[in-house]
């Protein structure tokens, strides 16, 4: 049975990646699970310099979800390339860097550093973080800025460029097309949904930052809808993200037209979740007499609407 997929020229042994910010830099899980079983790891977001992130509290549980405002804490791209990457590439899995920046130039600069670093399979461009004052959503919430950042990253690297789109927009297809036009090789859909949790006793936000990004099963139907819309609107492949905690969840995204998926918040509940989903995914394929996971991609029966591939071709 073939579980392998290809995204923007990156061969993944299976369609399950660990989502950025929910799996550290990967090495934290050495000894807990076999990293080579993962299709890939998208590392925590990285700027040029190290960052402390936002003050605590910066995580609060919500019904079927998590609201976070970590604020992109990280060690900086040079320390990652020097100290983490050489150990990470010993594991037979695709390593993607989640690229961040306060300015267009910084996105390009981080990408340039990655370009020269052996072992990085691709760049996920984080233009959708709702938890930072500069950058983040400022780029992913305006199609012209999306185009500008993606074009700058495109120029700075030969690595596959995968912008990560925000759900905090009215029409994700506008952003998907802007990113594609600017030279993106694939898209990641979606980042967290902007939320607010209030402590009614103090009448203050529960997070020190105020608002945060909602993730987990609570967002899955929104994520599937947006990933589906994005996949229908572009020719490049889409990676689905949002609330995946089972093979059935992952399959929703694949059937909606995504070529691979990322698992985020569910890692906090069960660090071995990839293995379980992979086993159940294979069982599903067998039950449906399919010998290739790619055969389910974009097979959504949606009466009255053409399939994604028919829109593209």
Ligand X SMILES: Cc1cc2nc3c(=O)[nH]c(=O)nc-3n(C[C@H](O)[C@H](O)[C@H](O)COP(=O)(O)O)c2cc1C
Pairing of strands 94-99, 65-68: unpaired
Whose Cβ is closer to ligand X: residue 150's or residue 310's? 150
Question: What's the closest the beta carbon of residue 215 comes to ligand X, in angstroms?
Answer: 3
Decide if residue 264 touches ligand X (CB under 6 A).
Answer: yes
Q: Print the binding letters for residues 15-34 with ligand X: x by CB under 6 A, - otherwise.
A: ----xxxx------------
User: Is residue 273 within 8 Å of residue 195, measured between CB atoms?
Assistant: no
| Three-class DSSP labels, the chain | CECCEEECCEEECCCEEECCCCCCCCHHHECCECHHHCCEEECCCECCCCECCCCCCCEEEECCEEEECCCCCECCHHHHHHHHHHHHCCCCCEEEEEECCCCHHHHHHHHHHHHCCCCEEEEEEECCCCCCCCCCHHHHCCHHHHHHHHHHHHHHCCCCEEEEECCCCCCHHHHHHHHHHCCCCCEEECCCEEECCEECCCCEECECCECEEEECHHHHHHHHHHHHHHHHHCCCCEEEECCCCCHHHHHHHHHCCCCEEEECCHHHHCCCHHHHHHHHHHHHHHHCCCCEHHHHCCCCCCCCCCCHHHHHC
Contact stretch for ligand X (CB under 6 A) within 68-76, 169-177, 199-207, 252-260: 68-76
Q: Hey, which residues are catalytic here?
A: 129
Site size for ligand X, by CB under 6 A? 27
> Which of these segments, 13-21, 81-89, 111-119, 287-295, binds ligand X (CB under 6 A)?
13-21
CA distance 57 to 92: 36
Exactly one of 68, 166, 168, 233 binds ligand X (CB under 6 A); which one? 68
> 26, 45, 140, 308: which one contacts ligand X (CB under 6 A)?
45
In the set 16, 35, 70, 297, which binds ligand X (CB under 6 A)?
A: 70
Minimum Å gap between C-beta 98 and ligand X is 5
In the complex, least distance from residue 49 CB atom to ligand X, rounded to whole angstroms? 15
Q: Choose, by CB under 6 A, the member of 8, 10, 35, 72 that binds ligand X.
A: 72
Q: Which residue number, 46 or 313, has a Cβ lying nearer to ligand X?
A: 46
* x/- letters, 271..310, toward ligand X (CB under 6 A): ----------------------------------------
Please say whether the dihedral angle defined by the alpha carbons of residues 180, 165, 39 and 98, taken in this order, is positive or negative.
Answer: positive
- The C-alpha atoms of residue 59 and residue 43 are separated, in whole angstroms, by 19
| Residue ranges in 159-218 that form contacts with ligand X under rule CB under 6 A | 164, 191-192, 215-216
First to last CA, the chain: 28
Would you count residue 241 as binding ligand X (CB under 6 A)? yes
Q: Which of 182, 263, 278, 285 binds ligand X (CB under 6 A)?
A: 263
Q: Is 242 in the site for ligand X (CB under 6 A)?
A: yes
Shortest distance, position 123 Cβ to ligand X, whole Å: 11
**Cis peptide preceding 260, ω within 30 of 0:** no
Q: Rule CB under 6 A: is residue 54 a binding residue for ligand X? A: no
Which region, judged by CB under 6 A, interacts with ligand X, from 88-96, 225-233, 239-247, 292-300? 239-247
Nearer to ligand X, 275 or 307 (CB): 275
What are the residues binding ligand X (CB under 6 A)? 19-22, 44-45, 66, 68, 70, 72, 98, 126, 129, 164, 191-192, 215-216, 219, 241-244, 263-266
């Amino acid at each position: 049975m073939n579980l392998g997929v290809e995204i923007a020229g990156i061969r993944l042994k299976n369609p399950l990646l660990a989502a950025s910010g929910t799996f550290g830099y990967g090495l934290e899980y050495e000894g807990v699970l076999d990293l080579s079983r993962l299709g890939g790891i998208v590392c925590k977001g990285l700027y040029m310099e190290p960052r402390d992130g936002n003050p605590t509290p910066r995580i609060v549980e919500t019904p079927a979800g998590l609201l976070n405002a970590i604020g992109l804490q990280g060690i900086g791209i040079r320390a990652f390339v020097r100290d983490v990457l050489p150990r990470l590439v010993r594991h037979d899995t695709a390593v993607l860097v989640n690229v961040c920046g306060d300015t267009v130039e910084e996105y390009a600069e981080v990408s340039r550093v990655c370009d020269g670093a052996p072992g990085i399979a691709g760049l996920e461009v984080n233009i959708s973080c709702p938890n930072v004052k500069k950058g983040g959503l400022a780029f992913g919430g305006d199609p012209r800025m999306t185009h500008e950042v993606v074009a700058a990253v495109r120029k700075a690297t030969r690595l596959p460029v995968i912008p990560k789109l925000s759900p905090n927009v009215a029409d994700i297809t506008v952003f998907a097309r802007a990113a594609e036009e600017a030279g993106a090789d694939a898209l990641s859909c979606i980042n967290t949904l902007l939320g607010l949790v209030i402590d009614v006793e103090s009448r203050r936000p529960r997070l020190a930052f105020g608002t945060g990004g909602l993730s987990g099963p609570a967002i899955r139907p929104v994520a599937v809808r947006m990933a589906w819309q994005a996949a229908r609107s572009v020719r490049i492949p889409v990676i689905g993200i949002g609330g995946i905690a089972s093979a059935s969840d992952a399959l929703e995204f694949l059937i909606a037209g995504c070529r691979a998926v990322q698992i985020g918040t569910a890692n906090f509940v069960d660090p071995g979740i990839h293995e379980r989903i992979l086993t159940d995914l294979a069982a599903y394929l067998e039950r449906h007499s399919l010998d290739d996971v790619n055969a389910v991609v974009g097979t959504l029966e949606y009466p009255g609407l053409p399939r994604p591939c028919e829109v593209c071709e």
